[in-house]
Structure 1
Amino acid sequence: MSLQFNPRDITWLAFNERVLQEAMDEKVPLHLRIRFLGIFSNNLDEFFRVRVAGLKRAMDFKEKVIAESFYQAPSKILQRINDIVIHQQQNFDKTWKKIQAEMADQRVFIKSPKSLTPVQKEFVSKYFDEVIESNVIPILLHENTPMPYLRDKSLYIGVAMSKKDWQYASNYAIIEIPSRFVGRFLLLPTEDPKEKNVMLLEDIITFNLPHIFSYFGYDEFSAHAFKVTKDAELDLDNDIRTNFAEKIEKGLKNRRKGKPTRFVFDKDMDKALLELLIRKLNLTKKDSIIPGGKIHNFKHFMDFPDVFDDYKRPVERTSFTHPAFEHGERVTDVILKNDVLLTFPYHKYNSVIDLLREAAMDPDVKSIQITAYRLASSSKIINALIYAARNGKEVTVMLELQARFDEESNLEWKEMLEPEGIRVLIGIPNKKVHAKLCVIKKRAHNKTLQYGFVSTGNFNEKTARVYGDHLLMTSDRGVMADINKVFSVLKKPKDDFMPVLKTCKNLLVCPQFMREKFIHHIDREIEEAKAGRKAEMIIKVNSLSDRGMILKIYDAAKAGVLVKMIVRGIYCAVNHKDFKEKIDAISIVDEYLEHARVMYFYSKGVEDMYISSADWMTRNLDNRIEAAIKITDKDLKKEMKDILDIQLRDNVKARILNKKLDNEYVRNNKKQCRSQIEIYKYLKAKTDPE
């Protein structure tokens, strides 16, 4: 059999197409459809910053050498990417046009400079004078002057200016839209209180162009939006005289100089200005030069103003307290007696915050150790840890300074935590710390007690409201011992830290050992299938791209193991003719982001269940510190299996993952199952069984 794989980057674009499908679905509430457009846009920006930039770097080497890493030559993948993205952009523009028509039906309008009423014109002029003008700095463009530095995440308008009686060519300028400082949206006054008018910041600036350039006497203006996406790879130098944090800071400064990977512009832009920008940015036909609609940097639309009156949040979207914590008992006391499994965003995240606050105030608690990858901007986790340090606890925080696009934030957290007496760890060179771990130690009645939690997702109370994740609270002595071993490695990183991690008995850790254990599980299922006995595995991850794990899954399918997969994003596996059992793979894209990693193996009826921080990608399994934990409590194991079964029954929001990557919805004659709603009902019933 000639083994085949779908290229990683093409499957990622198929995932983003599923996000766009949600925006296109007229059954989805209007404000959520706008949000999905914002998510689609933001996803695509990051894709070009990282993946397209990586492919372009790879083209500098011999393509045959690196084609295996991408499953296809980078030049071919880049061409496919460009074709797919242009097609998706067309669908995006059609969808946005349709949504605007539906907004008009609800009397919500995005106002252009030409459509303002006299009262609104006065309001916009005053708002510009008082709020915006000080943040607007036009830069004139000339053929013989260098291109000014353009920010990667910023939106710009290109302005062509002329005079009616002028025989000369237009002059040109660019203006950065200062949305970071004043926001992207402005609600305008209306005569009809039932009508909502929203104006975009770039249109406010466009309206005020005669005022901005009044010194030059121009009376004709043409302004259109554009943005540049740059290579976001963080190049770290090898200067032994600088510490790791300083290298990150230097890398962030150098990132600004990254090469453009995409140029997106309003297709109605002045042609001469467009050509000037392309020349000054040194773009060629090999680069992604993508014409689009009027609005760019659509990521801001994830926070579009709440102007829709007819939407009532369904009860199934309201988080609730886990039943274990409903009776007023301290979280600490509960988990010292029993394991508790939290499933977000169905369960409230408060219980995690409460546990850390209790530890901060408990005079018997001696230390807290926790990993942090992506934190909320006003992190309650960090606040609790600071209070703990002020109360005399020994607090250790592993801050991953290489968390992509959170590097700057994590450097700021480091600067905040260290003066509070908190020990900040910054990881192991060339190994990101992605494990989600916490251990709390207390001394009471001449006994040492340890408890904490292991999670599939970040310790971030904001994303926990929209990310589907699992977090196990436990006081299991073996688990706590293993978490302490991980922190011992992080505190004193050595060149050879593997022997320490190898001694972990209750956590599966990366690099290496998690891969070995899961391969062992798959091999056992293969043996059972070959013996004619029941063999089954369910793998739920965000991404599947590791060649070794895919080949092992292929072995299982060939042997007759029942393989079921739930993969939100990248999915490089495909079915083949000689599989005894076809791989049943789906992707669920709904209001919540499916983020949990769960592994289930039938294991001769014993049923082994794990939750993990690691996707099945080479970077996770071989190049990061990751952790998975086995669910041993019988009731919790059943709960996890029930949740997986609900997701596998989804025939509303599930798409079939196949070789064609056509995102066909799962449709059958079975009872309708929208898994995120059904999981809510299932978990909510446990709080009130009657």
Structure 2
Amino acid sequence: MRLPNGENLDIITMPVVTTIPKKAPKKKEPLEKKKLIARDISWLSFNARVLQEAADNTVPLHERIRFLGIFSNNLDEFFRVRVATLKRMMSFGRSAKMHLEENPDQILDEIQTKVIEQQREFDLVWKDIASEMEAQRIFMRTEKQLNKEQQKFVQNYFNEKVRTNIIPLMIESIQQFPILRDKSIYLAIVLARQDNSVRQKFALIEIPTTVLPRFIIIPSKPGEHDIILLEDLIRFCLPNIFSYFGYDKFLAHIIKVTRDAELDIDNDISDSLIHQIEKGLKDRRKGKPVRFVYDKDIDPLLLEYLMRRQGLSGKDNLIPGARIHNFKDFMDFPESIFPPHLHRKTFTHPLFVNATSVMHVIHRQDVMLHFPYHSFDTIIDLLREAAIDPNVSSIKITAYRLARNSKIINALINAVRNGKQVTVVLELRARFDEAANLEWKARLEEEGVKVLLGIPNTKVHAKLCVIKKRVGTKTLQYGFVSTGNLNEKTGRIYGDHCLLTANRSIIADINRIFTYLENPRHDIKILEGCKTLPVSPLNMRDTFLRLIDREIKNARHKKKAAITIKMNSLSDATLIAKLYEAAKAGVDIKMVIRGICCAYTENKKWKKNMTAVSIVDEYLEHARVFIFHHGGQQKVYIASCDWMIRNLDHRVEAAAPITDPAIRQELIDIMNIQLSGNVKARILDNEQKNEYKKDGDKKIRTQVEIFRYLYEKQYQ
């Protein structure tokens, strides 16, 4: 593969599992005996849908590049967590079985096959994108392709911004070999002299992409855009770094390590949890390598040295590649060089456009916000209003993933400064956000916020808030139940629903959940008082099983029976088995599943096959919606949880029934739009081939249609 400038490039984002011996192929079981699609294989099918977006030439070029970055980042996390877990299971034997992974060695074999296939597809997609970049006069220059003006620019940039951010390591002189950071890339360098008068030496430089951009726009000809990668800029300046030692010949190649990212944390949820997480984060940096990726042209002696010093061998997934690694950074490829892309703008829900008080509106009626179509600012406005309202006495809220400069946190701190009692349930174990949440904990407690940390063996994933206000002799309460995180950044790109309500039965249950979270013993009996909100780990699965059973009963009595569900992932064996039973009875089942779908959707013994689609588009489909026909009295829920074991048994989650008829119909309409989509919807069949849904004469791109529906419906 070649860049527009002719430079060879081999994207090493597709690791190959090399340690599992091939077995003789097993005979295919009849579908009736197959119960579930392996979770990890289904996940790879989802990532293939991300790659499809990168391949779609109707998508703007910079968005296609971004999807390649998303694909690569997804795969990195897949290997850090899922492949690492499968390898652990193999080490511990059958006693380590988790969820659906009964045969981890077989699944690793399948992963190997699929990632090789996706690597080939990735290469073809990048080749096509590179050609399109060339057509748009965009070039990526290496250190050997710079003209004099560019060389001067690069030298100045290095001296002004790079030099102080790198620490060259003469690794042969270091007794303890440095631990290579996960997610980082390094230049592994051979230092020598042209006349071979001194023995060559080895050095290592971490590329400082956490503090400097990976892509640097350099002076270009009129009508062109030239870009150099940060590592190539450093390559050009190697003589400035090492000439002091008398070297004048340099060979530099990129290497990368991917490590096991799982944290080993005891069940104790006392203050020691903080120390456990801090230790776990340190240990994660030293986690067992899952991949070692290197430039295939690297000096053999340097490669052998790096392997020996890190204790690596052929069993450690050594992946030879070429020049560029960490393609995830391409998510931040500079957009300024591309023609402007007109994004749909978020808009304020009409009930709040001229409202002087968010709480007054919620007091009168329930309101459903649909992100990112509706502005996330309404949530921030609600918390800001509560922070300064003299009648508000307390705010309680859950937090899982927060924005880097969180306006949510700022509003809560302002509330404390104004004399309110503020309680934040902060989940320290939110994967890859552990360090950020530790910092938020310290800041919140410094300001006087009461911070609750979680529950043994259970993550708090519910998205809840309750605000108490005293007006005269009355106590008024407002709150919300959301499907997504309280994060204003992702609120602009994640598709979610948030119910703002003063409904007494819903608020009562939210208070019960907070009482449970605040109770030192975390007595599950407290949650048994919840009469309106289904809650995990208490009764969420059972609630949905009962609702499906009702549809099965109606179908068997020849009555209309239908289920429409939307979620990120479907892998819970019990609920999938119940869906199979419903399909066999003739229940009309329609599903929108963005990611993992472990359910087969077709079986000749069913009266009605299930239909399932996955929508991958500009926004990340993140909402969870459940609709049951229920004898014509439709039951509609939103929830924070997917149908996965971890959500239903090992997390605190909440679902909310939609009782307002107008909002209920609004959600039904939105789901019908998603089910009718035929532009960005892929069919999830038994083979998960990701074929585009093409039915209908009119092209329906669901995210465009939902925006139009909400805008026209609310502003007509």
Q: Is the shorter-chain TM-score for this pair beyond 0.5, marking a shared fold?
A: yes
* CA 571–280 in structure 1, closer or farther in 2 if over 3 Å, else same: farther
Conservation of the 8 A alpha-carbon contact between 1:93 and 1:293 = no
Alignment-mate amino acid for residue 162 of structure 1: A
Matched, 1:252 2:281: yes
| Equivalent AA in structure 2 for residue 26 of structure 1 | N
Quickly say closer, same or farther: Cα 1:297–1:208, change in 2 above 3 A: same
**Is 2:708 aligned against 1:681?**
yes
Aligned counterparts of 2:260 and 2:297: Cα–Cα separation in 1: 27
User: What SS does the aligned partner of 1:232 have?
Assistant: coil
1:150 corresponds in structure 2 to 180
8 Å CA contact 1:236–1:250 kept in 2: the answer is: no
User: What is residue 629 of structure 2 aligned with on the other side?
Assistant: 602
Other-structure match for 1:338: 365
SS in 2 for 1:173: strand
Alignment correspondent of 2:131: 101
- Determine if the alignment matches structure 1 residue 637 to structure 2 residue 668: no
1:520 to 516, 539, 546: 546
CA contact (8 A) 1:31 1:308 kept: no
2:621 paired with 1:591: no
Question: What corresponds to 2:641 in structure 1?
Answer: 614
The residue that corresponds to 2:54 in the other structure is: 23
Q: In the alignment, which residue of structure 1 is the partner of 2:299? A: 270
User: Is residue 235 of structure 1 aligned with residue 273 of structure 2?
Assistant: no
* One-letter amino acid matched to 2:34: L
How big is each residue's C-alpha offset from its partner over 1:653-680, in whole Å with a ceiling of 9 and x where there is no partner?
A: 1111122222111112431111011000
What residue in structure 2 maps to residue 5 of structure 1? 36
What corresponds to 1:457 in structure 2? 484
Contact 1:158 1:224 in 2 (8 A): yes
Residue 251 of structure 2 corresponds to which residue in structure 1? 222
SS in 2 for 1:156: strand
What's the C-alpha RMSD, in Å, of the aligned pairs? 1.9
Q: Give the deviation of 1:511 after TM superposition.
A: 0.2
Between the aligned partners of 1:103 and 1:510, the Cα distance in structure 2 is 49
Q: Which amino acid aligns with 2:161?
A: V
What is the CA-CA distance between 1:72 and the residue it aligns to? 4.2
| Cα pair distance change 1:609/1:243, threshold 3 Å | same
Match of 1:139 among 162, 169, 172: 169
The question of 1:203 aligning with 2:229 is answered: no
Amino acid at match of 2:108: L
1:31 is matched by which residue type in structure 2?
A: H
> What amino acid maps onto 2:121 in structure 1?
N
Match of 1:566 in 2: 592
For residues 73 and 110 of structure 1, do their structure 2 counterparts lie closer, same or farther at Cα, with a shift above 3 Å needed? Answer: same
Deviates more, 1:235-244 or 1:66-75: 235-244
- Does the residue aligned with 2:375 lie in a helix, a strand or coil? coil
| Counterpart for residue 579 of structure 2 | 553
CA contact (8 A) 1:388 1:395 kept: yes
Aligned residue in 2 for 1:86: 116
The CA deviation string for residues 72-113 of structure 1, in whole angstroms up to 9 with x for no partner, is 411121122223223323322332232222122222222211
Q: Cα distance, 1:328 vs. partner?
A: 3.2
Which residue of structure 1 lines up, in the alignment, with residue 526 of structure 2?
500
Specify whether residues 560 and 474 from structure 1 end up closer, same or farther in structure 2 by C-alpha distance, changes over 3 A only: same
Shift of the 649–272 alpha-carbon distance from structure 1 to 2, 3 Å rule, reads farther
The one-letter code sitting in structure 2 at the alignment partner of 1:244 is L
Question: Which residue does 2:6 correspond to in 1?
Answer: none
- Write the distance in 1 (CA, Å) between the matches of 2:136 and 2:154: 23
Post-superposition offset of 1:38: 1.2
1:263-662 correspondence to structure 2 within 5 Å:
263-314=292-343, 317-494=344-521, 497-574=523-600, 575-662=602-689
CA–CA separation in structure 2 for the residues paired with 1:598 and 1:241 = 35
Instruction: Provide the TM-score with structure 2 as the length reference.
Output: 0.92
Per the TM alignment, residue 285 of structure 1 is displaced from its structure 2 partner at its CA by 4.1
1:376 and 1:604 map into 2 onto residues whose CA distance is: 43
Aligned AA (1:550): I
Which of 213, 227, 235 in structure 2 is aligned with 1:183?
213
Structure 2 unmatched ranges of 5 or more:
1-31
In structure 2, the partner of 1:46 is 77
- Kept after mapping to 2: 8 A contact 1:549/1:616: yes
Deviates more, 1:439-448 or 1:131-140: 131-140
Q: Which residue type is aligned with residue 140 of structure 1?
A: M
Unaligned runs of 5+ in 1: none
Residue 202 of structure 1 aligns with an amino acid whose one-letter code is: E
CA distance in 1 between partners of 2:459 and 2:584 (Å): 35
- Residue in 1 that maps onto 2:7: none
Please tell me whether the aligned partners of residues 357 and 384 of structure 1 are also in contact (alpha carbons under 8 angstroms): yes
Change (3 A) 1:239 1:645: closer
The correspondence of residues 70-85 of structure 1 with structure 2, limited to 5 A, is 70-85=100-115
Asked if the contact 2:482–2:640 (Cα under 8 Å) also holds between the matched residues in 1, the reply is yes
Return the alpha-carbon distance in structure 2 between the equivalents of residues 210 and 309 of structure 1: 34
The CA distance in 1 between the partners of 2:274 and 2:285, in whole Å, is: 18
Give the C-alpha shift of residue 4 in structure 1: 2.6
Matched to 1:612, the amino acid is: A
Q: Is the 8 A contact 2:62 2:338 kept in 1?
A: no
Taking the aligned partners of 2:271 and 2:362, their CA distance within structure 1 comes to 43
1:26-75 deviation per Cα after TM superposition (whole angstroms, max 9, x unaligned): 11001101111111111111111111111111011224x55573344111
Determine if contact 1:143/1:276 at 8 Å carries over to the other structure: no
TM-score by length of 1: 0.96
Whether the aligned pair in 2 keeps the contact of 1:428 and 1:493 (CA below 8 Å) is: no
Displacement of 1:436 in angstroms is 0.1
State the alpha-carbon separation in 1 of the partners of residues 296 and 398 from structure 2.
46
User: Residue type matched to 2:630 in 1?
Assistant: S
Task: Give the whole-Å Cα distance in 2 for the aligned partners of 1:160 and 1:378.
Answer: 41
Counterparts in 2 of 1:267 and 1:658: CA distance versus 1, 3 Å: farther
Distance in 2 of aligned mates of 1:559 and 1:422: 53
CA–CA separation in structure 1 for the residues paired with 2:267 and 2:697: 59
